[in-house]
Amino acid sequence: MRAGAVAVAVIVAGMALIGPAQAQQAVGGPFFLSPMGEPFRGDHVTPPIRTWFNAADQDGDGRISRAEFVAQPLNFFLTTFDANRDGTVTSLESSAIWREQAPELAAARPPPARARSPRQPSSGTPDPRAPRASRNSVEPDPPAMMAHFALFDIVEPVMSCDTDLSRRVTQAEYEACALRRFALLDTDADGYFALEDSPRAMALLEIGTPARD
């Protein structure tokens, strides 16, 4: 009985030790943030960028067409980001999803402004007046961190689509934004994006792939 109590104590202590580190594990698997802000997870076989790619490549021809690229994130936009289903996504809504499903992105984003003026648009660009000194000085810059899990260094992949600065992203704004991002990925302008077109995508393919031994 005494041994049992000791065992329980050891287990509890172990849980306390691994607790914070496992918050990420609870979300599960290597992480990729799609160009339109949807979190994807890989596993020990499939790199997370491949999970996104396969979801977008609806016809399975090994490349993402412009139409596929725009269509893929819409369901997530309308049913997950838009938590209150009013047809638009706010900064609060998108941040809540990332907190829950993408702690890696939350870590890469600048800390929330303490008292953001209501007139100040959320541009996705870090406020140059933000107190950088308050950040841990060894903390890497957000764009450097983004390279580990995204094709773009855009820490606000949804609110940066708010072209009319209404502080809400409509479906039309989101789709127009997707077209602009696709044009950046489709470097040879043939209307298709393949992972081979992007050195950064090829580097991300290595993520989640176990090292050969």
* Residues at the contact surface with Ca ion, assessed by CB under 5 A: 57, 59, 61, 82, 84, 86, 88, 162, 164, 166, 168
Nearest residue to the partner Ca ion, using Cβ: 166
Whole-number minimum distance, CB 191 to Ca ion, in Å? 11
The smaller minimum CB distance to Ca ion, of residues 104 and 162, is found at 162
Nearest distance, CB of residue 71 and Ca ion, angstroms: 11
Report, in Å, the least distance between residue 213 CB and Ca ion: 34
**Shortest Å, Cβ 16 to Ca ion:** 38
DSSP 156-209: -TTGGG-TT-SSSEEHHHHHHHHHHHHHHH-TT-SSEE-GGG-HHHHHHTTTTS
Of 97 and 155, which has the nearer Cβ to Ca ion?
97
Nearest-angstrom CA–CA distance, 183 and 53: 16
CB 51 within 8 A of CB 204: no
Give the residue with the Cβ less far from Ca ion, 96 or 205: 96
| Residue 39, beta-bridge partner list | 33
CA–CA gap between residue 112 and residue 116 (Å, rounded): 8
129-137 contact pairs (CB < 8 A, 24+): 135/111
Nearest residue (CB) to Ca ion, 66 versus 109: 66
